[in-house]
A = this chain, B = another copy of it.
């Protein structure tokens, strides 16, 4: 297939690709040109392996990303909220040989053992002759993002161009495609919910309003005044927007608030309905290149709490005890479809476990009702979702256990009005002098702030089952 951005620039050169909050806009022709120009500069410093990008949402990030596709290098997206130690690990695990970053991260770069360049410095450097891809090889890896399982180290998810293409197409077949569509992008581009919108922009020929981050004032204003028709949100941001809306109403052109990234509390959905906010619930993950199950607006009330039905090109089953579950029987959610990842980069064992008979095992629990609507009961057993970010207990436990005097550690999620959930830790110590304060300090050093436990409780023992496996669900309360 022709390179998507080149093709789009050819089809609708003068259409606005990205609109920024400073009122700057860039057309598809300009975006393609600037991405190609950046590619010829990036090519000088990058020889082999993958490129990591560390940046908050910005036009620069979009240009740098498309530049990488022009020189056919997979992009590893780094979460800006992680610590240097976490970035270092991820670079090792994803074969990153070059990091490009936004200026504000300059200070963190010195401690990383990978050549790094600020996006600004690359832009000011000289171009070299280099092959600019005219085609896209659908089967090659476009991007990687990290996700953790319930056990151990975060894993790099490989997303091919075909995954992203299929995701954009499946979403269009489900939500429709209007000539006046404008998607507000305020999720981080290093999350699939953000990145997927960039592909939609280019594949659909649709303007995207790009915000650096979620800011309820800016988002509210954009929906009210800037002719935004669709926005992706998570429960926390949705809730804040509804509060900000107060007794007001969104314009009728605003047609979809796509709600993903974790369970949606029923009171929130009811409140949205009251205010006539067109919520479309969805279920998806990094491994499915964003949505794979979506509840249409017309079913929203009748099936309150359901994530909907699998998109047209996707399939879903509930597996219980190795075979297909009956209606209303809870089991593991397994999925199939062209938007599902080929696997984790360099993780043979994890891939063997996750992929069985062409089905991807999500680790999430749920059931299908008689009509085939999915209800997600629990995300990946112990997964904590805090403000739309995945927080994996195992990772926090590992950090706690690395502290001298900690014998056992267990982490679980606690309901939180603001963030949905926050992590809470339970520890058994060998040494009575270990304090909660020093453990928190230790966590702050080694973990992104949203992963740092909000409480630390000391126990004599932790609940374990017969095989001594930690039973995190018994930690609650």
Complex interface: stretch among A99-107, A168-176, A420-428, A457-465:
A168-176
**Chain B residues within 8 Å of A203, by CB:** 173, 312
Question: Given A169-B169, A204-B173, A7–B312 Cβ distance below 8 Å?
Answer: yes
Q: What 1/0 flags go to A1-44 for Cβ under 8 Å of B?
A: 11010011011000000000000000000000000000000000
Least Cβ–Cβ distance between A11 and chain B, in angstroms: 6
Answer whether residue A267 sits at the interface, using C-beta atoms and an 8 A cutoff.
no
> Within A320-354, which residues are at the interface with B (CB < 8 Å)?
338
A312 near B11 (CB under 8 angstroms)?
yes
* Bound-complex Cα distance A312 to B312 (A): 20
Answer whether residue A182 sits at the interface, using C-beta atoms and an 8 A cutoff.
no
Least Cβ–Cβ distance between A466 and chain B, in angstroms: 40
A10 near B372 (CB under 8 angstroms)?
yes
For A168, give the chain B residue with the smallest CB separation. B173
With beta carbons under 8 angstroms apart, the residue of B4, B176, B204 that contacts A179 is B176
**Chain B residues within 8 Å of A179, by CB:** 176
* Bound-complex Cα distance A375 to B350 (A): 53
Answer whether residue A315 sits at the interface, using C-beta atoms and an 8 A cutoff.
yes
With beta carbons under 8 angstroms apart, the residue of B172, B205, B315 that contacts A172 is B172
B10 near A309 (CB under 8 angstroms)?
yes
With beta carbons under 8 angstroms apart, the residue of B11, B169, B204 that contacts A309 is B11
* Bound-complex Cα distance A449 to B312 (A): 43
Q: What 1/0 flags go to A140-164 for Cβ under 8 Å of B?
A: 0000000000000000000000000
Least Cβ–Cβ distance between A397 and chain B, in angstroms: 40
**Chain B residues within 8 Å of A4, by CB:** 312
Question: Given A178-B178, A309-B10, A2–B315 Cβ distance below 8 Å?
Answer: yes
Q: What 1/0 flags go to A277-288 for Cβ under 8 Å of B?
A: 000000000000
* Bound-complex Cα distance A313 to B1 (A): 6
**Chain B residues within 8 Å of A205, by CB:** 173
Which of the listed residues A7, A8, A178 has the most CB atoms from chain B within 10 Å of its own CB? A7
**Chain B residues within 8 Å of A338, by CB:** 1
**Chain B residues within 8 Å of A173, by CB:** 169, 172, 177, 203-205
**Chain B residues within 8 Å of A1, by CB:** 313, 338
* Bound-complex Cα distance A197 to B2 (A): 26
Q: What 1/0 flags go to A352-366 for Cβ under 8 Å of B?
A: 000000000000000
Which of the listed residues A2, A312, A313, A372 has the most CB atoms from chain B within 10 Å of its own CB? A312
**Chain B residues within 8 Å of A309, by CB:** 10-11
* Bound-complex Cα distance A372 to B309 (A): 41
Least Cβ–Cβ distance between A360 and chain B, in angstroms: 15
* Bound-complex Cα distance A7 to B1 (A): 27
**Chain B residues within 8 Å of A10, by CB:** 309, 372
Q: What 1/0 flags go to A295-318 for Cβ under 8 Å of B?
A: 000000000000001001101000
**Chain B residues within 8 Å of A169, by CB:** 169, 173
Least Cβ–Cβ distance between A357 and chain B, in angstroms: 13
The 7 A-B pairs with the shortest beta carbon distances in the complex, nearest first, are: A176-B177, A177-B177, A169-B169, A176-B179, A2-B315, A11-B309, A1-B313
What are 11 residue pairs bridging A and B, where the CB atoms are less than 8 Å apart in the complex? A1-B313, A1-B338, A7-B312, A10-B372, A11-B309, A173-B204, A173-B205, A176-B176, A176-B177, A177-B177, A178-B178
15 new A-B contacts, CB < 8 A, other than A2-B315, A10-B372, A176-B178, are: A1-B313, A7-B312, A10-B309, A169-B169, A172-B172, A172-B173, A173-B177, A173-B203, A173-B204, A173-B205, A176-B176, A176-B179, A177-B177, A178-B178, A203-B312
